[in-house]
Homo-oligomer: A and B are copies of this chain.
């Protein structure tokens, strides 16, 4: 794939992804699914697999989790040594129904199952990873992963949600203090800081620890803040959003994968990471669940990156 050609053949960043692997059952105005493959680690891993990265997933599933799903991830070169299979347990199950505008949804079912006792263990080989992506989980669980790292990662990225602000705010603050990048949606940024202005909210979150704040605005794109620097990536305008499930995780996975693959966490390179994340997320929403991501080719990604350039780049010459 093109976007690997600039990397040294010898260098391969190590990326640890921690998050759920799940069954999802999804209803949208376009239809509904039975239990299909889902989970934050799944989406993050599939996105990150587009980069030259040595990736390991850390998660937990039940004995009901099909070998076929595990094979699918293994084939994308995702190391699964850290995925615990609880033979007599059941896999985390989530079911939700999207409203007509696709911007909001109701959760119909949440069965934690094996996730309730999830105690992530990073395998020895990955405790020196350069990039750690903490998918949305209880903040104490997220923290426990950082405790296991034998060397300080170059970059720790954390995703979280309003549920933890409501139920475990103190623990959330503790883990937020330990990360470099936080990805959070606009409403959650407002809830976390009590500020309506996203510029002010981002500054307040930076004061909590993370030097970089990524605010996800769904169909309105994403903003990256670092000190006085701001970068904005739109979402690609689509004829229709078929299923938004996993878009945020796919975005985060593209971001993390690109950073790990290029071994460069400068602000300028993070801009590119944001664009890759947005590009990959624009595919994710085109079909149900992981369907689009599983078969996504590098050529398709390349072509859409060109569309992103045309969408956003202009030629005003300024002195």
Q: Give me the interface of A with B, judged by CB distance under 8 Å.
A: 2-3, 6, 100-101, 196-200, 217, 220-221, 223, 229-232, 234, 237-240, 268, 271-272, 275-276, 302, 305-306, 309-319
Contacts and interface: CB of A to CB of B under 8 A. Distances in A.
A316 B275 contact: yes
- What number of copies of this chain does the assembly contain? 2
8 closest A-B pairs by beta carbon, nearest first, are: A220-B220, A232-B234, A271-B314, A199-B239, A272-B316, A199-B237, A232-B311, A312-B312
28 contacts: A2-B318, A2-B319, A6-B317, A100-B196, A101-B196, A197-B238, A197-B240, A198-B237, A199-B237, A199-B239, A217-B220, A220-B220, A220-B221, A221-B234, A230-B311, A231-B311, A231-B314, A232-B312, A275-B314, A275-B316, A302-B318, A305-B316, A306-B318, A309-B316, A309-B318, A312-B312, A312-B314, A313-B314
Given A276-B316, A306-B318, 18 more contacts: A3-B316, A6-B317, A200-B240, A220-B221, A221-B234, A229-B310, A230-B310, A231-B311, A231-B314, A232-B237, A232-B311, A234-B234, A268-B315, A272-B314, A275-B316, A302-B318, A302-B319, A305-B316
A114 B223 CA distance: 45
Contacts of A234: 221, 232, 234
Contacts of A272: 314-316
Contact of A237 (B230, B271, B311): B230
A212 to B, nearest CB: 15
B312 A239 contact: no
Q: Is the interface of A mostly helix, strand, loop or mixed?
A: mixed
B305 A239 contact: no
Contacts of A100: 196
A276 B317 CA distance: 12
A101 B239 CA distance: 28
A244 to B, nearest CB: 14
Contacts of A199: 237-239
Contacts of A221: 220, 234
A160 B79 CA distance: 56
Nearest to A225: B237
A272 B314 CA distance: 6
Nearest to A309: B318
Contacts of A309: 316, 318
Q: Determine which residue in A101, A198, A232, A306 has the highest number of CB atoms from chain B within 10 A of its CB, and name it.
A: A232
Contacts of A313: 312-314
